[in-house]
Amino acid sequence: MKSAPRTVATVMLFILLTSLTAPFASSEEDTSLQTGFQYHTIASLGDSTLGSDPTGYRGPFASIHAANLMGIEYYEGAVGGDRSWTLINAGRHTNIAENYGNGTLVTMMVGAWDFIDSDINIVNGDYSFIDELEENITIILDVLVESEIDVLVWNLPNMSFLPFLTQIFPTEVHHHFTEASILWAERLDEMAERYGSDVQVFDLMAASDDLLQNASARTIGGEEVISPPEMCDKNCIMIDSLHPTSVGQGLLANYMMEAINEKFPRLEGDYPLLTDEQLLDLADFGMSETVDEVIIIEGDLTKACFDWSTSIYRQMYLTITSNGVDIPIPSYVGFNTEVCRQSTHVMYTGESSVNIIASVENNLSLNDFFEIWGENFSSEQVMGFTTANGGSIRVFIDGVEFNGDWSKIPIDDAISVEIQHNSPLDSLQENEGAQSTSGFSALLSGLSILAAISIFSNRGNREKIRKRF
């Protein structure tokens, strides 16, 4: 019985301690729930959808708008024409990982050019390139996440709506691009899941579908932004068959900001979106679209010079390969030369692209660019690569092989030009190997004919190893 008061006292002490500690425990729980993402920098990775704008009609890019709306710094790592593998080879992802880190959000859209490069396979129902694209994107994400960088990775729009592709291929095969786009979106969702909260997907496919198919989604202050197939500089979603306009980028920026607010929320509440007034400032509904004044150049157009800061350019993506290996094209070919001091020729190179004065109507040709560059170009030679000894040179314009007059290959409105040189080097090496084997077997007259044939066969059928760049 003497122990009863002690028991009561113990119980009362327990209740007291519980009541005192409970608020602190609750406070700790509340704090743990109040997680948010705080950033100091947005960095972009991808192609000319997110960076590189010589025209002045395609920016500010969605990622720049996001940085401004979030009040943080911006780093442009996107380069026009970048494929997943060119991005990796250039080390653009490692550059961000090494120079930035925790507190960085990377907005990344990679894969459009991987699709375009694989267009022939796609229209034949072969989507195997997606496996390689997944491998490359995984390499990029691994590096970024390892550096404690968050990533908002964009899937691709429905590529069957991309004018660049629909202009090349007949309607009956367009569904293959839709199927490949959906497959890649699903694959990207699966990849993001593996990284947890560090990697989130911005559903660009859904956003672009909404913009293209719903007039209300692209109506600003009572003014409707024009959708493809019509294209224009100011009041359209697309400025050309590949790129959004400035107002198109603004509309995409709001979709992306909604994704950031959902997937990388901050403690202070949602980030703002661009207002109608800000979006209208990116367009020009007060003025009708006017055609740029046509420039006709008298004399040698390759000697004409232009002010790069005020002239309007369009982009053409030029690729040169020899036996499947990319041949680098220097930046700023045609800029600040002996002929054009502190100015450009009618064409000059950016990164992975040739910038062309948009309003010149002198039937510009691919040959003109090589003349400005000072490199050889003909049906028999490109730079130092020739068709000697059975080699070949082929030109593809927007995916279609050119078979006309090589002295003046037209590039009006061309988006993509690929020059392929192939030499008979491999076959020559095989022949040399065969000759040396024959000579050797002749010297070894004591060997049986069967042995000589066996040696020849082993050498002639040796495995060829090729490295892809």
**What's the confidence (pLDDT) of residue 351?**
65
Distance (Å, whole) CA 227 – CA 224: 9
Strands (E), 344-425: 347-349, 354-357, 381-382, 385-386, 392-397, 400-401, 416-422
Predicted TM-score of the model (pTM): 0.69
Do 95 and 230 lie in a common domain? yes
Q: Residue 422 class from Cβ within 10 Å (0-12 exposed, 13-18 middle, 19+ buried)? A: middle
Question: CA 75 → CA 51, 88, 105, 246, distances in Å?
Answer: 10, 18, 10, 19
Residue 428 covered by a domain: no
Residue 296 covered by a domain: no
Do 259 and 305 lie in a common domain? no
Q: Say which range, 190-204, 409-423, 428-442, has the weakest mean pLDDT.
A: 428-442
Which ranges constitute the DSSP H helices of 81-128?
84-90, 92-99, 112-117, 119-123
Do 154 and 47 lie in a common domain? yes
**What's the confidence (pLDDT) of residue 384?**
92
Do 108 and 155 lie in a common domain? yes
**What's the confidence (pLDDT) of residue 453?**
34
- Does residue 229 have a cis bond before it (omega within 30 degrees)? yes
**What's the confidence (pLDDT) of residue 335?**
87
Does pLDDT of 312 surpass 90? Answer: no
Is residue 442 very low, low, confident or very high in pLDDT (cuts 50, 70, 90)? very low
Of 282, 312, 330, the residue that ends a domain is 282
Do 179 and 322 lie in a common domain? no
Residue 403 covered by a domain: yes
Residue 58 covered by a domain: yes
Q: What is the pLDDT of residues 54-90, one digit of tens each?
A: 666 688 999 999 999 999 999 999 988 889 999 999 9
Cβ atoms of 349 and 320 within 8 Å: the answer is no
Residue 409 covered by a domain: yes
Q: Residue 295 class from Cβ within 10 Å (0-12 exposed, 13-18 middle, 19+ buried)? A: middle
Residue 18 covered by a domain: no
- Rounded average pLDDT over 295-322: 84
Residue 3 covered by a domain: no
- Rounded average pLDDT over 286-303: 73
**What's the confidence (pLDDT) of residue 54?**
61
Of 282, 315, 347, the residue that ends a domain is 282
CATH number at residue 139: 3.40.50.1110
Do 411 and 451 lie in a common domain? no
DSSP state of 402: -
Distance (Å, whole) CA 348 – CA 335: 6
Do 239 and 387 lie in a common domain? no
> Considering its fold, how many domains does the chain have in total?
3
CATH number at residue 384: 2.170.130
- Rounded average pLDDT over 29-57: 75
Cβ atoms of 329 and 318 within 8 Å: the answer is yes
Do 47 and 193 lie in a common domain? yes
Residue-number span of the structural domain to which 377 is assigned: 301-423
**What's the confidence (pLDDT) of residue 112?**
94
Do 219 and 347 lie in a common domain? no
Residue 467 covered by a domain: no
Do 226 and 149 lie in a common domain? yes
Of 233, 250, 282, the residue that ends a domain is 282
Do 210 and 156 lie in a common domain? yes
**What's the confidence (pLDDT) of residue 103?**
95
Do 238 and 153 lie in a common domain? yes
Rg (CA), the chain: 30
